[in-house]
Structure 1
Amino acid sequence: MAAITAIYGVQVDSGVATYEINRPDVAEMQRRMEAIVAQGYPYLVAEDDGQLAGYAYATSYRARHAYRFTVENTVYVDAAHQGRGIGAALLQALIDDCTARGFRQMIAVVGEAANAGSVRLHERLGFRTVAVFQGIGRKHGRWLDTVQMQRALGDGDACDPLDELN
């Protein structure tokens, strides 16, 4: 968890992949991970040469019951391990895991529209841009846009997921 906290902390302190302002400590990151897993969502890690290289997880897109088949993804890769396909491997594993759990839509909320690497990663794995919210976040003394992208999981909205349970 210390390595995950360090990867995330870089984005809190100097990046815009998250709009969080105050760096959480290891105990808080552990609490967050345990809450995600306890709610039935996947939390994945990737190693590269024996070091934690990145992590990914899914959470509820929104709290209301009608959104229960839609998840939001999060993927972070340590700067020293970027460009090696780790982000793509994590995101693909997350897509597969969420599909197996019966989720039907995945949303990516990309902090800062200029984050071309994240946008391209999501596009390569079947996401399409559905919205760009201009100037909805403020960090490091500037206004930030946010891109929302969407990808169907499994049959998406082609049929009622509850029919599959019957």
Structure 2
Amino acid sequence: MTSDYLGTRLRHLLDRLDGDVARTYTDLGLPGFRPRYTPVLRLVAADGPRSIRDLATTIGVTHSAISQTVNQMRREGLVHLEPGTDARHRIVHLTDQARAVLPTLETEWHATTAAARELDAELPHKLSDLVDAALHALDTRPMHDRIRAHLHHP
């Protein structure tokens, strides 16, 4: 397989995975619920209110990405924010609306985890292992550095 259009194919893969999870939320009576909300809700439900920075670190995404997600969740009534010990920190709390959907999300989470294991079993290499390995390799040497090494400067 060629690496041509790798970014496009990865976005297509993610769109298909997220799209089907979102369809499942609709099937379960949660239309418009976004897959990226689930890790935030599950972490805050399990561990109590958490800072945006802590959520970003634990989930493994950027502070900006979690901040955007939390702001969308706030607009949809799933979380509210309170100031932390430092004015720069905002602490994420679940709303009653979020708590009401947690049982449905737990059911979906277990089904999605089982489906992901099934997908992994059908592939020549586990997708989850490949993603972890790719992220580790990019932590070691970012794609920017790899690209620059192949650029030919006049």
TM range (shorter): under 0.3
Q: Normalization by structure 2: what TM-score?
A: 0.25
Larger RCO, structures 1/2 (Cα 8 Å, 6+ apart): 1
Q: Normalization by structure 1: what TM-score?
A: 0.24
Comparing both structures, which one devotes a greater share of its residues to helix? 2
- Structure (1 or 2) with the larger CA radius of gyration: 2
